[in-house]
Structure 1
Amino acid sequence: MDQRPETGRLFIAVPLPDSLQNTIGEWTREHLGHLQFRKWVHPADMHITLQFLGDTPLQKVPELSEALRHAVKGFGSFPLEVRGLGTFGRPAVPSILWTGIDGQVSRLTDLYKQVTAATSRLGFQLEERPYKPHITLARSYQGESSFNLKGLDSTVSFGEWSPDSVVIYRTRMGRTPMYEVTQRIML
């Protein structure tokens, strides 16, 4: 009999406070009728990804958590703002609609570097593309006409906060919301 360990699709992220998730959620509800994306992100699933880990044996979560605790110990909170809009992919048919991060982005980048250094020592691979912190709002534009970001307020501010933790999320496909906090590590 096959005794493979149970795995979970995991990633490490900076969670958003409920107040910001609600504010962004209100904006998405106002726009989903006329912005024709295939899938909109549930407000409770909104976060800033630090590293995607992929299918990971769940028995590695305690070791991963300990490595992250050590890596971010004493890091402390820092001010960020959720601001602006942008897209990834072809501008006329974007694959992702996102909102950006402003404020002490250099501290966020330092946090990303500390997290990825800790996970690489455990055998996790870094993505090849440069780190671009953002919050995904929607995926796969399917409008009949070309998408036009100029029709939106690309300077919109959703609010400020100072993150005080990172989390390990587990993806639960088919559930809403689909990201479940597996571990929370305080900064």
Structure 2
Amino acid sequence: MIRAFIAVEIDQPNKEKLLKLVSDLKKSNADVKWVTENQMHLTLKFLGNIEEGHVEQISGALKSIADNFNAFSINLTRVGAFPDLKRPRVIWIGIDKGAGELKTLGAKIETELEKLGFAKEKREFKAHLTLGRVRSLKNIENLEKIINEVKFQAGNEIKIDKIILFQSKLTPKGAIYTNLSEHPINDL
């Protein structure tokens, strides 16, 4: 069994801007497990534990989707929290331009993987990039203040031009991601 998820990547210039943003948020001294540079991606579907034999089937479905989808661009926007800033569990950065295309891509993945026996996600897809996971409410007021003050300026648009199936190995130092298959999206 391997732990797996499907995602799209963020380009290096925007990763660097996100790392600067995380550095600013860390000044709150809030009890948050912040993402590292190699963990910065946009998850389209978390698969959980899958049989290694399913990788080929999943990859085939992703190739079919990528072959029939057009590349697009997104812009990162404001910082927020799930469920909200008063009781946050996840700190995220949202997406404005391209959120509809990302949602459509996610829906196509859900539909194709449901045919392979994977359960459809019950929650509505909300396009976001996780910046951190809150462990306790220690110094949460400081974090809320910084989030309300921070003005994130993303770089140029981020081109979404491939879908990636990742393996996620959990270690005491955090998750390690391995690219299992990569599927270029049509660039029309």
Per the normalisation by structure 1, the TM-score is 0.87
Is 2:166 aligned against 1:172? no
Match of 2:152 among 115, 135, 156: 156
- Partners of 2:108 and 2:65 in 1: how far apart? 6
* Residues 8-87 of structure 1 aligned to structure 2 (within 5 Å): 8-87=2-81
- Partners of 1:35 and 1:137 in 2: how far apart? 15
Report if aligned partners of 1:80, 1:102 keep a CA contact under 8 Å in 2: yes
The residue number in structure 2 matching 1:104 is: 98
Report the AA paired with residue 184 of structure 1: E
The residue number in structure 2 matching 1:124 is: 118
Report the AA paired with residue 59 of structure 1: G
- Structure 2: gaps (5+ residues): none
TM-superposed CA distance for 1:142, in Å, is 3.0
For this pair of structures, how many residues does the alignment match?
A: 181
Report the AA paired with residue 157 of structure 1: Q
Superimposed CA distance per residue, residues 57-98 of structure 1 (whole angstroms, 9 cap, x where no aligned partner): 111101110111112214121120011111013532311100
- Partners of 2:184 and 2:140 in 1: how far apart? 43
Report if aligned partners of 1:72, 1:114 keep a CA contact under 8 Å in 2: no
Superimposed CA distance per residue, residues 29-50 of structure 1 (whole angstroms, 9 cap, x where no aligned partner): 2321324133001121111111
Report if aligned partners of 1:42, 1:177 keep a CA contact under 8 Å in 2: no
Report if aligned partners of 2:31, 2:136 keep a CA contact under 8 Å in 1: yes
- Partners of 1:52 and 1:35 in 2: how far apart? 29
- Shift of the 65–35 alpha-carbon distance from structure 1 to 2, 3 Å rule, reads same
- Shift of the 177–56 alpha-carbon distance from structure 1 to 2, 3 Å rule, reads closer
- Structure 1: gaps (5+ residues): 1-6
TM-superposed CA distance for 1:178, in Å, is 1.9
RMSD: 1.9
The residue number in structure 2 matching 1:4 is: none
- Shift of the 73–66 alpha-carbon distance from structure 1 to 2, 3 Å rule, reads same
- Shift of the 115–82 alpha-carbon distance from structure 1 to 2, 3 Å rule, reads same
Is 2:86 aligned against 1:89? no
**Larger helix percent:** 2
TM-superposed CA distance for 1:156, in Å, is 2.1
